[in-house]
Structure 1
Amino acid sequence: MFTQAVALLLHLISSAVSISTTRSVRLLDPTVSSTSLLLHRVVATYHQILFQLCRRSSKPFWPSLIAFNMALNLEKQLQFYGAYHYNPVNVAIHITCVPAILLTAFLFGTNTPAVPIPDWLSIPNLPPNLGTIAAVVYSTLYVLMEPVAGGLLAPILIGGTAYANHLTSNYGMTANYIAIGVHVLSWVAQFIGHGIFEGRAPALLDNLVQALFLAPFFVWLEILFMFGYRPELKSRLDVAIQKDIKKFRDDAAAKKANGSTNGHAK
């Protein structure tokens, strides 16, 4: 159900931006550069890929139950993510790199043309381009999942996107080049964290959609937990995550032992 909701939101975002781009091109809007159009196509293609991944879910989609389902499954989803992010060094890497990845992704989206809206609806540094729309979608999903934590995170995401719009408006491709470097380095650092410190492949290899959409929120909750937020939830998660990690390690050891036995038998 969660993945179906994400799929629908992705489809709406891509459709809105596609309509905006088409109108801009038809009107020969001089503000629409070839670079912006190229970036739009790349981002739209990326979202369409995620849309197809989400659409493959066999679970039914009932819009009226989205918020209830998200809140109900929050602990389970946190447990899944936490089982892949338990080593302190890897956790620190993700606390640093996940926000960088998300905000630079929003910055890439700010290069797309804005959806036409009345002047009285416009907000400084928050034109309705793909970056702004994505930030609003993420914020909405997080508030639905956990109103307090999501409500605290939403202004940070919206404010970060406003600053991203400011950067692309004033510095153009220079801002994009720096963002690309930060984005790539952050992904590399995370893979190093998993390979060297966690000893387990990233969660995105097992659950791509949840890893991409929920990771920023779970990093935020990890920060809140450090300040004493919802200690009872943190305690339950620690117990459940340790059980999951033990099961993973036991299964890995059993497979390794079976492989060694089969090798000697040959």
Structure 2
Amino acid sequence: MGAKPNSRGVLNLEAQFAFFRSQHRHPVNAAAHVLLTGPLLFTILLILQFLPLPLPPPLDPALALSLAYAAAYLAVDRRAGALAALLFLAAWAASRALAARLGFALAWKVVLPTQLFGWAWQVLGHGLFEKRGPMVTELPEVFLMEPFLILLQILNKLFAYEPYPGFSKNVDKKIETDLRESIKLNQSKIN
């Protein structure tokens, strides 16, 4: 919205969540992200099981990625971050077991259509329903934080979870402020 690229700060959870909610207002786009982000991440972990990188045991590329995500999520919120970390480690273990069962010859046949379908819907959701998406400079933040923000939104809607009291009110204020700034910016461009 009105935020400058990377001005939110990866660890600024209020600003990240406000940006996330502003980018996923349409129910179809929001549903596509909720339903497809998990399979996209899981199939990335699955294909990474076959990537031969020289990492010290017991690390493999999928575990390294899972631990990086887990560490980032624990840094922004201990309770929801711990749940997200457990989910990532469970996904890593499941992807490892599935990779051993399928082998590369079958695994890529699961990964490719899942990735194509999932990313097509992610892009279409933003283009058709939101009429905007994150800028290219924001993609690293989006790739890192979006899975956690989806989990946070689910926890908030189902259990009224907040990382701390007043979190949701602060996020709503940030969204309103960004919307006002965006409207002013657009009006100044028209005049």
Band of TM-score, shorter chain: 0.7 to 0.9
Deviations 1:85-119 (A, max 9, x none): 222222111111222222221112111237353xx
**2:128 is equivalent to residue 196 of structure 1:** yes
Residues 111, 247 of structure 1: CA spacing in aligned structure 2 closer, same or farther, 3 A cutoff? same
Name the structure 1 match of 2:144: 213
Q: What's the TM-score once normalised by structure 2's chain length? A: 0.82
Moved over 6 A (4+): none
Name the structure 2 match of 1:83: 22
Q: 1:138, CA displacement in angstroms?
A: 0.7
Q: 1:128, CA displacement in angstroms?
A: 2.0
- Residues 16-55 of structure 1: pairs in structure 2 closer than 5 A: none
- Residues 214-229 of structure 1: pairs in structure 2 closer than 5 A: 214-227=145-158, 228-229=160-161
Identity over aligned pairs, percent: 27
Within 2, Cα distance between the matches of 1:233 and 1:239? 10
- Where do 5+ consecutive residues of structure 2 fail to align? 1-5
- Where do 5+ consecutive residues of structure 1 fail to align? 1-56, 58-68, 118-126, 259-266
CA contact (8 A) 1:83 1:242 kept: no
**2:72 is equivalent to residue 141 of structure 1:** yes
Name the structure 2 match of 1:166: 97
Of structures 1 and 2, the one scoring higher in RCO (CA 8 A, sep 6+) is 2
CA contact (8 A) 2:15 2:174 kept: no
Structure with greater Cα Rg: 1
Within 1, Cα distance between the matches of 2:183 and 2:122? 21
Residues 246, 91 of structure 1: CA spacing in aligned structure 2 closer, same or farther, 3 A cutoff? farther
Cα RMSD (Å) of the superposition? 2.3
Within 2, Cα distance between the matches of 1:169 and 1:140? 26
Q: 1:141, CA displacement in angstroms?
A: 1.3
**2:32 is equivalent to residue 93 of structure 1:** yes
Letter in 1 for 2:111: A
Within 2, Cα distance between the matches of 1:204 and 1:217? 19
CA contact (8 A) 2:74 2:81 kept: yes
Name the structure 2 match of 1:131: 62
Residues 188, 70 of structure 1: CA spacing in aligned structure 2 closer, same or farther, 3 A cutoff? closer
Within 2, Cα distance between the matches of 1:92 and 1:249? 26
